[in-house]
Structure formats: C-alpha cells, structure tokens
Amino acid sequence: MLTNTSQNQRAITLLAVGHACVDVYQGAVAALVPFFVAERAYTYAAASGIVLAASLLSSVAQPLFGAVTDRRPLPWLLPVSTIVGGLGIALSGLGDSYALTLLFVAVSGIGVAAYHPESARIARVASRGGHTAMSWFSLGGNLGFAFSPALVALVVGFGGLTMSPLLLLPALAGSVLCLPALRLVRREQDAAPGAKHSAQALTSAVDDRRSFLRLTLGVICRSVVFIGLSTFISFHMAQSTGWGPTAGTAALVVLYLGGAVGTVLGGRLAERWDRVTVVSRSYLLTVVAVAGVVLVPGPTGYLFVALASAGLYVPFSLQVTLAQDYLPNRVGTAGGITLGLTVSVGGIAAPGIGLLADATSLRTALIPLIAMPALSWLAFRGLPEPAAAIGPARTTPVELPSEKVE
C-alpha cells in the first residue's frame, strides 16, 4: 500500500508528465513558424501573427479560468483541455487559409489556458506547497517545450504541414495520464487530517494584492523576452552562424532544454535562499545573457542562449508559489496568471518585433528584449517574502467526480 508521501510523489510525477504533454503545444507554435514561412511564404509579421493568435486568447482566458476554478474546482478540465490544446495544433497545418490557421492555433491556446490554473492548484495540493515538488511539476511543462521543436521537425519536417494531425498523439497520452493523478490526489487529501476544514482555514488568510500586481508586471516582462526569443531565435541563429535552418532548430532546442535545467535549479536554490532573492538575481543574470544572444555573432551565441534560458526559467516555478502565497484565497487565479501568463502574453509583442524586423533587421528588432529582464528585476526588487500558506489545511479541496476517476 502506498504511503501518503509515495502517493504525492507519484501524483506529482504523473502531473508533470501530463504538463509536458500540454506544453508541447505551446512550444509547437514557435516551432511551426519556420515551416509556415517556408511552405506558405509568410513574412515575419504574418508568422508572428500566428504566435499572437495562440497567445492573445490564452493570456486573456487563463485568469478567467483561474477565477472560475477558485469558485468551484473543475478537475475534469485537465483531460478535456489537453485534448483541445492538441487538436488545435493538429489541425493548424491543414489547408492554406491564413484565417483558419489563426483560428486553429487560437483554439489550441484556449485549451492550454483552461489547463494551467486548475493543474497548478492540484499540483499545489499534491506538493503541499513545496518548492522542489512544484519545480518538478513545472519541469514537466518545460520539457514539453524543449521537445516540441524535435517533435515538429520529426513530423512536419519529413512530411510537410499536411502531417500535422499526428501532433495530436501527446494530447491523447496526457489526457489519459490525468486520471490516475487526480485519483491519487483525492485519496491523499481524503486521508489528510483536517482536509474537510481546509476551505474554512483558507478564508482566514489575507491576500497581498499589491505584491501580486508587482509580481505580475515582472512576469509579463519575462514573457515578452521569452516569447520574442522563442519566435525569432531560430531565424537569428541561422543568420548569425550561417549554418541555415538546422542551426535555428538547434538554438530553439537549447533555449528550451536550458529552461528545464533552470526550473530544477530554481527549486533547489529556493531551499537555500528566499524566493524573491533568487528570482531577482536570476533576472540580473538574464540581462547579460540576452545581450549576448542578440549582439555576439557566431556559434558563441549558443552559450548565451543556454544562459538566457536558465536565467529566465530559474524564477518559473518560484513565481507560481510566490503568487499563490500572495493570493492564498485565489490560488487558481494566481496559477492561471503566473504559470500561464509567463508563456502566453508575450506573444502580444511578437508582431511588433516582426514588423520592426521587416522594416530594419532582425538583430535590430531583438535589441529591445535586452531591457525586459531588467524591468522584471525592478518589479521584484524589494518584494516581501510571504509566509507560506502551505499544506493540506491551507489548500482548497480537490473535488473529483468519483464516477470518472474511481
């Protein structure tokens, strides 16, 4: 028989793998852009419009889904939203209509938006608010990001955009993995002392909205630089090295894999120092790293891509737990804004970068990204380290429909 600790670990592992299956589709949007350019002759601005379509609805919808799940837990959203996210990307390569392509990637963005607030809330329950466990959950999403360029290259690179329906397979796997994870979390919570009184305990906590707002501003700046690099790093490194499209795909993989390392490192560092300090110093390092990516030519750029990725991802899971501790009465909203907004709202700036690149050069268009981590550092500077509102007695119970998961 599994102990509560073993159940928690297994639940976090399943949730992390499911998170990877969902975030494949966030990474897939940027990975598909070069193929849209090659097969459909899109300009930089048109290609970045696809990123905007996936990001705009997602960034708006995620706080709404978070607010809904704060009022009533909806665990069934995990398998359903996973399928929706995968279906949009799977259909995006079919036909030549730009409008339909925008529609399909927007549908995928809505699916991703529905997934993150509820999954972050459930992961918080399973991890009992632990920084390391939450970093493993976040790592799953980052690995999905990291492997999405390879998956897209394998499927679309060999068969063209008409093979995109095969990209639905991770969504099918992720939706199945959600069910045992939800069952394990429910069992652990039912067995936890005081679980029935957790909602009443939660309402006694006080929300720190001012700190949460500052954190959100920092998250938005982080998102702009990350999505900007995700969208254009493949083109930039291909030009910088002169090695062609292969160099661009390699840069995208480095960007995402470096994020996986940064996420785990962030959880470890937070066990030694407070989260605000770790996040602030990471953004200072990222300023130098992004400058190197944009301004240093040749293969050395890959080193700066890796450093920028790690610097951007060390704060990733820490921002989620900070946000949830700033808004202990609205953990769904906090998770929806931080876990989802970090990889969506930056897409709103992508068309502006594309237009500037079309008018000048890609390197010139990327220079403003250097300032974004500095703005994030300013937003986090001086933020208080909240008292952690962690544990079964401080988390909203997971309401699971027994007929679906038992």
Domain residue ranges of the chain, discontinuous segments joined by +: 4-405
Q: Write out pLDDT tens, residues 314-325.
A: 888 788 888 888
pLDDT at 168: 93
pLDDT at 308: 92
Answer for the pair 15, 181: CB distance below 8 angstroms, yes or no. yes
Retrieve residue 336's tokens. 């929806």
DSSP state of 206: -
* Three-state SS at 48: helix
- How many residues are present in the chain? 406
SS (H, E, C) 120-144: HHHHHHHHCCCHHHHHHHHHHHHHH
- Does the pLDDT value for residue 80 go beyond 60? yes
pLDDT at 89: 92
More confident residue, 270 or 175: 175
Query: What count of Cα atoms within 13 Å lies in the side-chain half-sphere of residue 290?
Result: 26
pLDDT at 343: 59
pLDDT band at 172 (very low <50, low <70, confident <90, very high): very high
The backbone torsions φ and ψ at residue 81, rounded to the nearest 5 degrees and listed phi first, read: -70, -30
- The Cα–Cα gap between 66 and 62 comes to 6
10 Å CB burial of residue 377 (0-12, 13-18, 19+) is buried
Retrieve residue 9's tokens. 């670990």
- The Cα–Cα gap between 189 and 395 comes to 10
CATH of 4-405, one of 3.50.50.60, 1.10.1040.10, 3.30.460.80, 1.20.1250.20: 1.20.1250.20
* Three-state SS at 43: coil
pLDDT band at 153 (very low <50, low <70, confident <90, very high): confident
Retrieve residue 23's tokens. 């975030």
Q: What predicted TM-score, i.e. pTM, was given to this entire model?
A: 0.69
Position of tokens 């972050």?
Answer: 120
Q: Report the chain's mean pLDDT, rounded to a whole number.
A: 80
Torsion of CA 1, 126, 258, 218, to 10 degrees: -170
- Does the pLDDT value for residue 362 go beyond 80? yes
Q: Write out pLDDT tens, residues 221-262.
A: 998 998 888 888 888 888 888 777 777 878 888 887 777 788
Q: Write out pLDDT tens, residues 84-110.
A: 999 999 998 887 888 888 889 889 988
